[in-house]
Amino acid sequence: MKLKIQDIKGNSQGELEVKFPLIENGKGTQAVHDTVVAYNAAQRMGTACTKNAGEVAGTNKKPWRQKGTGRARAGSFQSPLWRGGGVVFGPKPRDFSKKVSRATKQLALRKALSERLSAGDVLVLDDLKLTSGKTKEFVGVLSALKLDGTALIVSHELDQNLARASRNVASVQLTTSDTLNTYEVLRSDKLVFTRGAFEKIEARLKND
Q: Spell out the SS3 assignment of 39-69.
A: HHHHCCCCCCCCCCCCCCCCCCCCCCCCCCC
Which pLDDT band holds residue 11 (cuts at 50, 70, 90)?
Answer: confident
Q: Among 95, 121, 137, identify where a domain stops.
A: 95
| Residues 102, 89 share a domain | no
Residue 155 domain boundaries:
2-44+98-205
pLDDT in tens, 156-180: 888 899 999 999 999 999 999 999 9
| Residues 73, 12 share a domain | no
- Strands of the sheet containing 172-176, edge to edge, are 12-17, 2-6, 122-125, 190-194, 151-155, 172-176
CATH number at residue 172: 3.40.1370.10
In this structure, the number of other CB atoms found within 10 A of the CB of residue 202 comes to 17
Which pLDDT band holds residue 12 (cuts at 50, 70, 90)?
Answer: confident
| Residues 103, 27 share a domain | yes
Q: State what percent of residues in the chain have pLDDT above 70.
A: 99
* pLDDT the model gives residue 181: 94
| Residues 197, 128 share a domain | yes
* pLDDT the model gives residue 113: 94
Q: CA-to-CA distance for 38 and 96, rounded, in angstroms?
A: 9
Which pLDDT band holds residue 25 (cuts at 50, 70, 90)?
Answer: confident
Total domains in the fold of the chain:
2
In this structure, the number of other CB atoms found within 10 A of the CB of residue 8 comes to 18
Q: Is the pLDDT of residue 208 over 60?
A: no
Calculated CA dihedral for residues 107, 112, 114, 119, nearest 10 degrees: 170
Q: State what percent of residues in the chain have pLDDT above 90.
A: 75
Amino acid at 25: N
Amino acid at 174: L
Q: Among 95, 129, 163, identify where a domain stops.
A: 95
* pLDDT the model gives residue 8: 87
* pLDDT the model gives residue 131: 86
Contact 58, 117 (CB under 8 A): no
| Residues 194, 128 share a domain | yes
| Residues 191, 131 share a domain | yes
User: Which helix (H) or strand (E) segment is 173 a member of?
Assistant: strand 172-176
Q: CA-to-CA distance for 142 and 177, rounded, in angstroms?
A: 20
| Residues 186, 111 share a domain | yes
| Residues 197, 174 share a domain | yes
Contact 29, 112 (CB under 8 A): no
Q: Among 95, 115, 134, identify where a domain stops.
A: 95
Q: pTM higher than 0.95 for the full model?
A: no
| Residues 54, 40 share a domain | no
Which pLDDT band holds residue 2 (cuts at 50, 70, 90)?
Answer: confident
Higher pLDDT, 12 or 111: 111
| Residues 161, 77 share a domain | no
Q: Is the pLDDT of residue 207 over 70?
A: no
| Residues 149, 112 share a domain | yes
| Residues 110, 91 share a domain | no
